[in-house]
């Protein structure tokens, strides 16, 4: 089973490597002629606004479009518009700030990300220096909101100061709603999230709706059940002669089942590919060893039983490598903590000489752990409801004796169902 799981992990990882960079989703492009082409767009979940996109038509033919080739495109509910705009290039890093309020501009052709399109429209552009440019406007008229961080020098001291021309720009642009002016005056540092709140207030004030509003990814949580099959492979390490009968003994291996509850919390992000995954489950370990040896005139029989049941908590980060609308291929890594509910820890030696038998009973491990910790990693596939998960766990084992460490390798197949 160990080899099978390892081979499967390698094969799936190889498939991930090949296909992870492609994520075609339904979308469309609007050509410069005004014609609309429907098909699929390779969604890169761009952190910075893209410079070009890969489009696939209904015949499977791909084509690359840049900012000069099309007017706009839409994928996964997000609209980008090609635009010739002014970009303000003053540095924003505190270590590089200028000591004057002069604004610096360059003209560039970019894909603007749309947040609102309608009577009042809002767009953004994250440039190569990780500086967010915010634009207001309509149709092909885009006005940059003017903002700059700089140091004001006075009496040999410097103070962080801001150019706040965006306040008058927003107040004029949204002037139909008088109460927005007070909100504009409260914005000390220009941030996209604050401007979006202003636009929400505007459309609520005007009792109308935009033609388009980008739906932001929100933190989501799913709850469900899990059941699994685990192959436990403990390794006893000691030089003590008292434990020779269990060293390198494959009978220590045990295949058991587990079942419990799962809670998967997606982390709020643009890609929405990372989640904090948790499991609380019951599992157990069971091993029975019989060994017979002879040393004339003696005969020795060893009967060894070690059983333990656990309530375990697994906490992992899951990262989707390939993500579609309702399915995902993912990797995961985290830790496990197990609380021992009960144990059966017996060793019996039957020594026979002729017809005389002598029995001796004791514990195989005089000291066992109440808590067991480990690291766990895996690879899996999920749909909106079902999950199949292949995992490897390495724990510090059940022996509490420093001279007898007992690390355990666990290989598991886990099935999950989300409500």
* CATH code of 226's domain: 2.40.160
Q: Which of 194, 213, 232 is the last residue of a domain?
A: 213
* Percentage above 90 pLDDT, the chain: 58
Which pLDDT does position 1 carry in this prediction?
47
Q: Which residue has the higher pLDDT, 354 or 19?
A: 354
User: Which of 278, 273, 276, 277 has the alpha carbon at shortest distance from 321?
Assistant: 273
Whether 273 is covered by a domain: the verdict is yes
Whether 48 is covered by a domain: the verdict is no
Which pLDDT does position 21 carry in this prediction?
52
Whether 1 is covered by a domain: the verdict is no
Which pLDDT does position 34 carry in this prediction?
93
Q: Which residue has the higher pLDDT, 238 or 303?
A: 303
Per-residue pLDDT at 16 exceeds 50: no
Band of residue 216 on the pLDDT scale cut at 50, 70, 90: confident
Lowest mean pLDDT among 70-74, 101-105, 120-124, 233-237: 233-237
- Same domain? For 373 and 254 the reply is yes
Band of residue 37 on the pLDDT scale cut at 50, 70, 90: very high
Which pLDDT does position 368 carry in this prediction?
86
Whether 39 is covered by a domain: the verdict is no
Per-residue pLDDT at 323 exceeds 50: yes
User: Which of 284, 280, 334, 343 has the alpha carbon at shortest distance from 312?
Assistant: 280
**Domain of residue 340, residue span:** 221-418
- Same domain? For 265 and 169 the reply is no
Q: Which of 163, 189, 213 is the last residue of a domain?
A: 213
10 three-class SS = helix
- Same domain? For 249 and 270 the reply is yes
Mean pLDDT of 174-202: 91
- Same domain? For 243 and 353 the reply is yes
Per-residue pLDDT at 183 exceeds 80: yes
Band of residue 128 on the pLDDT scale cut at 50, 70, 90: confident
- Count Cβ atoms below 10 Å from residue 409 Cβ, excluding itself: 17
- Same domain? For 174 and 244 the reply is no
Per-residue pLDDT at 129 exceeds 90: no
Whether 354 is covered by a domain: the verdict is yes
Residue pair 284/309 in contact by the 8 Å Cβ criterion: yes
What is the rounded average pLDDT for all residues in the chain?
87
Residue pair 105/124 in contact by the 8 Å Cβ criterion: no
Q: How many domains does the chain have?
A: 2
Q: Which of 188, 213, 238 is the last residue of a domain?
A: 213
- Same domain? For 201 and 226 the reply is no
Contacts of 23 (CB under 8 A, 6+ apart): 42, 43, 44, 45, 322, 323, 324
User: Strands 70-75 and 148-154: what pairing?
Assistant: unpaired
Mean pLDDT of 390-416: 90
Mean pLDDT of 19-30: 78
- Same domain? For 392 and 248 the reply is yes
Band of residue 10 on the pLDDT scale cut at 50, 70, 90: low
Contacts 24+ apart (CB under 8 A), 198-204: 198/170, 198/174, 199/115, 199/116, 199/120, 199/122, 199/174, 201/177, 202/120, 202/174, 202/176, 202/177, 203/116, 203/118, 203/120
Per-residue pLDDT at 283 exceeds 60: yes
Whether 314 is covered by a domain: the verdict is yes
Per-residue pLDDT at 92 exceeds 60: yes
- Same domain? For 103 and 186 the reply is yes
- Same domain? For 239 and 354 the reply is yes
Whether 28 is covered by a domain: the verdict is no
Query: Which H or E element spans position 135?
Result: strand 132-138
Per-residue pLDDT at 18 exceeds 70: no
Band of residue 321 on the pLDDT scale cut at 50, 70, 90: confident
Mean pLDDT of 44-59: 92
- Count Cβ atoms below 10 Å from residue 390 Cβ, excluding itself: 19
Whether 4 is covered by a domain: the verdict is no
- Count Cβ atoms below 10 Å from residue 210 Cβ, excluding itself: 19
Q: Which residue has the higher pLDDT, 324 or 208?
A: 208
- Same domain? For 206 and 280 the reply is no
- Same domain? For 139 and 274 the reply is no
Per-residue pLDDT at 7 exceeds 80: no
Give the predicted TM-score (pTM) of the model.
Answer: 0.64
- Same domain? For 156 and 234 the reply is no
Which pLDDT does position 412 carry in this prediction?
96
Band of residue 65 on the pLDDT scale cut at 50, 70, 90: very high
Lowest mean pLDDT among 1-10, 77-86, 293-302, 381-390: 1-10
Lowest mean pLDDT among 260-274, 298-312, 363-377: 260-274
């Amino acid at each position: 089973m160990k080899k099978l799981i390892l081979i499967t992990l390698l094969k799936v990882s190889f498939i991930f490597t090949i296909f992870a960079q492609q994520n075609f989703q339904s979308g469309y492009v609007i050509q410069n002629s005004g014609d609309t082409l429907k098909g699929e767009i390779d969604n890169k979940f761009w952190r910075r606004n893209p410079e070009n996109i890969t489009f696939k038509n209904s015949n499977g033919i791909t084509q690359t479009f840049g900012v000069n080739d099309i007017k706009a495109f839409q994928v996964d509910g997000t609209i980008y518009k090609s635009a010739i705009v002014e970009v303000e290039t003053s540095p924003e890093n505190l270590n590089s700030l200028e000591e004057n309020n002069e604004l610096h501009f360059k003209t560039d052709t970019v894909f603007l990300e749309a947040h609102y399109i309608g009577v009042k429209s809002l767009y953004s552009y994250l440039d190569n220096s990780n500086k967010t440019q915010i634009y207001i406007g309509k149709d092909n008229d885009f006005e940059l909101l003017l903002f700059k961080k700089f140091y004001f020098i006075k009496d040999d001291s410097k103070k962080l100061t801001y150019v706040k021309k965006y306040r008058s720009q927003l107040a004029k642009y949204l002037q139909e709603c008088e109460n927005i002016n007070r909100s504009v005056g409260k914005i000390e540092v220009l941030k996209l999230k604050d401007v979006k709140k202003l636009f929400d207030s505007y459309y609520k004030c005007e009792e109308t709706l935009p033609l388009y509003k980008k739906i932001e990814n929100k933190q989501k949580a799913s709850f469900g059940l899990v059941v699994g099959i685990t192959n436990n492979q403990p390794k006893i390490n000691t030089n003590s002669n008292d434990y020779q009968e269990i060293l390198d003994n494959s009978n220590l291996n045990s295949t058991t089942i587990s079942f419990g509850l799962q809670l998967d919390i997606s982390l709020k992000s643009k890609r929405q590919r990372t989640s904090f995954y948790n499991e609380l489950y019951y599992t157990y370990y069971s091993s029975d060893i019989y060994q017979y040896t002879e040393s004339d005139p003696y005969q020795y029989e060893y009967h060894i039983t070690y059983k333990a049941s656990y309530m375990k908590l697994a906490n992992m980060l899951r990262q989707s490598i390939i993500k579609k609308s309702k399915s995902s291929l993912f990797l995961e890594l985290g830790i496990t903590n197990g609380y021992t509910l009960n144990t059966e820890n017996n060793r019996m030696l039957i020594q026979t000489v002729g017809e005389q038998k002598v029995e001796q009973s004791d514990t195989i491990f005089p000291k066992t752990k109440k808590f067991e910790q480990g690291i766990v990693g895996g690879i899996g596939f999920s749909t909106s409801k079902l999950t199949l998960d292949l995992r490897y766990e390495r724990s510090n084992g059940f022996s509490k004796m420093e001279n007898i460490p007992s690390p355990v390798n666990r290989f598991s197949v886990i099935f999950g169902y989300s409500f």
